[in-house]
A = this chain, B = another copy of it.
Amino acid sequence: MTTEPLAPGKRDPEARRLAILRAAAEIIVTRGPGALTHRAVASQAGVALGSTTQYFASIDELREAAFVVLAEEVDASLASFAPHLPTMLADPAGVIDEVLNYLNDARAVSADIALLSSATTEPRLLELALRWTDKLIDMLSAHIGHDRAEAVATYIDGATIQAGLRPESVTREGVTLALTSLAGIHTSSHPTSTTGHPPEKSDA
């Protein structure tokens, strides 16, 4: 996240717009959606107050645009599940690693929580908030059926909340037990036996 200080006065609309968006997303994630103000964003982005109003007609528009950015970030996390799904039933360790990766990514977790909770009172955000859950269900359905896919997705939502509130409560054992139970996978060995490769994630 190189938020380049963005030379003041310099003309670079694209970069400026992006800097503002990033700053808004950052504030939502770290201080909550209630802390999102023009001035806070301007300060965080290192731009003048006027710039925030120039690029986004209203604070609501800015907020929604920031949520789109966050949704895309979460989507990106989701994409890393995909390669492991085909072999999931035979070897769940891969998906579980990815799920843990996601749950340990404090930023993604906070982004997801902000999105989900804001959508509760703002219907405009509903589709955005549900997008990744629905994609996950779609992806899983092909392998474990729709019902179990839904159960797994719901569990991961819950795990996201827990990860946001007390990260230390998220353990490989816990996630393994839950996912294998819900997906209908029955391991012959104990869940804790996987000490495989910690998957490298190419930065998106």
A178 to chain B, nearest CB (A): 4
Asked whether, in the complex, the Cβ of B162 is within 8 Å of the Cβ of A121, the reply is: no
Contacts A113-B117, A155-B151 given; does A184 touch B178 at CB 8 Å: no
- Chain B residue nearest to A155 (CB atoms) is B155
Complex contact B178–A186 (CB within 8 A): no
Point out the residues of chain B lying under 8 angstroms from A182, CB to CB.
Answer: 155, 178, 181-182
* Contact flags A31-65 to B (C-beta < 8 A → 1, else 0): 11111000000000000000000000000000000
Contact pick for A117, options B114, B122, B126, B157, CB 8 Å? B114
Query: Is the CB of A194 closer than 8 A to any CB of chain B?
Result: yes
Whether A177 is near chain B, meaning CB under 8 Å from some CB there, is yes
Question: Contact residue range for chain A?
Answer: 35 or more
Say yes or no for A148: interface residue by CB 8 A criterion: yes
Q: CB distance B162 to A154 under 8 Å?
A: yes
Q: Counting CB contacts under 8 A, is A2 at the interface? A: no
Chain A 155-179 near chain B by CB (<8 Å), digits 1 or 0: 1111111101110010001100110
A165-B120, A165-B130 are contacts. A174–B151 as well, Cβ < 8 Å?
yes
The reply to whether A121 and B158 contact each other, CB–CB distance below 8 Å, is no
- Does residue A3 face the partner (Cβ distance < 8 Å to B)? no
A129 at the interface (CB under 8 A from B): yes
**Is A119 engaged at the interface, CB distance under 8 Å to the other chain?**
yes
**A77 located at the interface, meaning its Cβ lies under 8 Å from any Cβ of chain B in the complex:** no
List A residues 107-133 near B (Cβ within 8 Å): 110, 113-114, 116-122, 126, 129-130, 133
Please give the residue numbers on chain A whose beta carbons come within 8 Å of chain B beta carbons, in ascending order.
30-35, 110, 113-114, 116-122, 126, 129-130, 133, 147-148, 150-151, 153-162, 164-166, 169, 173-174, 177-178, 181-182, 184, 186, 192, 194-195
Nearest 4 interchain pairs by C-beta = A158-B158, A117-B117, A157-B158, A32-B121
